[in-house]
Amino acid sequence: MKKITIAIDGFSSCGKSTMAKDLAHEIGYIYIDSGAMYRAVTLYSIKNGIFQDDRIDTEKLKKLIDDIHISFRLNPETGRPDTYLNGVNVEDKIRTMEVSSRVSPIATLDFVRKAMVAQQQEMGKAKGIVMDGRDIGTTVFPDAELKIFVTATPEIRAQRRYDELKAKGEEACFDEILENVKQRDYIDQNREVSPLRKADDALLLDNSHMTILQQKEWLAEQFKRVTESK
């Protein structure tokens, strides 16, 4: 069976990453979490003094961007890929609220997006990949054979994020998370470079009231439909 490229875009905390990871695992494809790449750049910026209070030292980041290398390696315990920043596993560190609250401004920078898109396109040359993010179907892989756009209400997405943080034993405030979700939505949709939008040929999936099993069945059906028609 000929391998294809699968692009999954959508709003933050829609469960895109879990959905994409599970699908990739089930069909034997490589999963690439583009959002984790921007989170890794954000973590790097926090650790290297690029954030001056709420201001980003863009000139400093621009000089260092070529030194930021992101890769993914399969975790034998979880069966899923972990994110590595310059060879160091940062999977847990990039999921904190500190990173979540700062990732959108980093992701709006044109030179950051250019660098990440170049890395993503290099990863996807051989096809047989599932990648999720904000601009995969519109910018990174406009010719992807299967495009999905995922959405859910802000309240449901905030609750999912809240539950995820509490399950990890981290402190979490629902109202703070909800505000962060809404802020990220606004920034993602209104940035000048590669704003979040549904590609014309993408399938819309509103998973507000869907179980994970229902989502898996729906995705499997779409994958089967596209690959069998090739």
Q: Give the pLDDT mean for 135-152.
A: 94
Ordered by where they begin, the domains of the chain are: 1-29+128-216 (3.40.50.300), 33-127 (3.40.50.300)
Q: What pLDDT, on a 0 to 100 scale, did the predictor assign at position 137?
A: 95
Q: How far apart are CA 78 and CA 69, in angstroms?
A: 23
User: Residue 230: is its pLDDT beyond 70?
Assistant: no
Q: What pLDDT, on a 0 to 100 scale, did the predictor assign at position 76?
A: 85
Q: What pLDDT, on a 0 to 100 scale, did the predictor assign at position 141?
A: 94
Q: How far apart are CA 28 and CA 48, in angstroms?
A: 37
- What's 125's DSSP letter? T
Structure tokens that stand for 183 in this block: 């802020």
For 52-82, b/e burial (b = at least 16 CB within 10 A) is eeeebeeeebeeebeebebbbeeeeeeebbb
Q: What pLDDT, on a 0 to 100 scale, did the predictor assign at position 81?
A: 83
User: Residue 205: is its pLDDT beyond 70?
Assistant: yes
User: Residue 177: is its pLDDT beyond 70?
Assistant: yes
Q: Give the pLDDT mean for 172-187.
A: 93
Return binding residues for ATP.
10-18
Q: Report the predicted TM-score, pTM, of the whole model to 2 decimal places.
A: 0.78
Q: What is the pLDDT of residues 98-111, one digit of tens each?
A: 999 999 899 989 99
User: Residue 79: is its pLDDT beyond 80?
Assistant: no
Q: What pLDDT, on a 0 to 100 scale, did the predictor assign at position 51?
A: 94
Residue 72's pLDDT band (cuts 50, 70, 90): confident
More confident residue, 205 or 13: 205
Picking from 129, 128, 111, 110, the residue whose alpha carbon sits closest to that of residue 34 is: 129
Structure tokens that stand for 63 in this block: 């000089």
Return binding residues.
10-18
User: Residue 194: is its pLDDT beyond 90?
Assistant: no
User: Residue 54: is its pLDDT beyond 90?
Assistant: no
Q: How far apart are CA 200 and CA 103, in angstroms?
A: 26
More confident residue, 225 or 126: 225
User: Residue 1: is its pLDDT beyond 80?
Assistant: no
Q: What is the pLDDT of residues 22-33, one digit of tens each?
A: 999 899 898 888
Q: What pLDDT, on a 0 to 100 scale, did the predictor assign at position 75?
A: 85
The per-residue pLDDT of the chain, averaged, comes to 92
Q: What pLDDT, on a 0 to 100 scale, did the predictor assign at position 124?
A: 86
